[in-house]
Amino acid sequence: MKLDNNVKNALFEFLLRMGDDRLILGHRLSEWCGHAPVIEEDIALGNIALDLIGQASAFLNFAAGVEGKGRTEDDLAYFRNETEFKNLQLVEQPNVDFAHTIVRQYFFDVYSNLVLTNLTSCPVNELAGMASKSLKESKYHLRHSKQWLLRLGDGTDLSNEKTQNAVNNLWRFTKEIFDIDETEKLLIEKGIVPEMSGFREKWLDSINKTFMEAKLKLPEDNLDFSAGSRNGFHTEHLGHLLAEMQILARSYPGAKW
């Protein structure tokens, strides 16, 4: 598919967003390795982390190709600075505890399923292919996080309290998920990314249903908080994460192991 330069730039941006979401969330989940509450869950979180990093690798590799400046997926992952990362603020939030991890994951999984399902009908074949491969994984991730959310919310008083607390803390990072900016508008207009209107409603609808069942309350809608992570604005947590994630590649450029 032959693309104009401005469309190409927009597609590059969009692929960075998809890739960065998964890279950063994957890294966050990997921090649980050896620390999860039970060994089965340790393995489960590790599996999901690996899935997400695999997806990130595919999106960033394609992004590097679209950009056409000779960068590789590793250059994009390890040699960009904080403000050049386009992931959602939601996914960079720290693990805090198991409840925060599961709530963050559930919010992302519902969103990810919507976006990936949508992208499977994208006319850019590579992107459609990546989306349908990732969607399979993402469906399992959603099943995992949803089942946990139901059990934590509708578990003991303490597990409910911790989960509600996590919901309240993370809620403000969910609004920007559905902001559609010029980049996405252009891609939608050119028919590269299918129409995404109504996503927030669908997302809210799923969250609502699960919350009812999990005996969790949707926080008051005080969502005037629009974060702008898609343009490189982040919370303080991303820098620390990147320092750890990138130090090896930056200290020993080209290292192989």
Partner 1 sequence: MSEKNKDSQWPLWEVFVQSEQGGPHIHAGSVHAPDPEMALQNARDVYSRRNEAISLWVVPSVSITATMPSDQGPFFDPASDKIYRHPQFYHVPKGLK
Least spacing, CB of residue 151 vs partner 1, in Å: 7
Between 45 and 103, whose beta carbon lies closer to partner 1? 45
C-alpha 57/C-alpha 36 separation (Å) is 25
Least spacing, CB of residue 203 vs partner 1, in Å: 23
Residue 214 amino acid letter: A
**Angle, in degrees to the nearest 10, between helices 39-67 and 125-153:** 150
Least spacing, CB of residue 47 vs partner 1, in Å: 5
Q: Six-digit token pair at 230?
A: 């898609």
Q: Which of 96, 84, 75 is nearest to 253 (CA)?
A: 75
Exposed/middle/buried for 222, CB within 10 Å: 0-12, 13-18, 19+?
Answer: exposed
Between 36 and 128, whose beta carbon lies closer to partner 1? 36
Between 1 and 158, whose beta carbon lies closer to partner 1? 158
C-alpha 95/C-alpha 102 separation (Å) is 9
Between 8 and 151, whose beta carbon lies closer to partner 1? 151
- The DSSP 8-state label assigned to residue 231 in this structure reads G
Sign of CA dihedral 94, 109, 207, 234: positive
Helix/strand/coil (H, E, C) string of 1-20?
CCCCHHHHHHHHHHHHHHHH
Least spacing, CB of residue 44 vs partner 1, in Å: 4
Q: Which residues bind partner 1 (CB under 8 A)?
A: 38, 40-41, 43-44, 47, 140, 143-144, 147, 151
Between 86 and 144, whose beta carbon lies closer to partner 1? 144
Between 43 and 158, whose beta carbon lies closer to partner 1? 43
Least spacing, CB of residue 157 vs partner 1, in Å: 17
Least spacing, CB of residue 154 vs partner 1, in Å: 12
Between 57 and 174, whose beta carbon lies closer to partner 1? 57
Exposed/middle/buried for 49, CB within 10 Å: 0-12, 13-18, 19+?
Answer: buried
Least spacing, CB of residue 143 vs partner 1, in Å: 7
**Angle, in degrees to the nearest 10, between helices 5-30 and 98-119:** 150
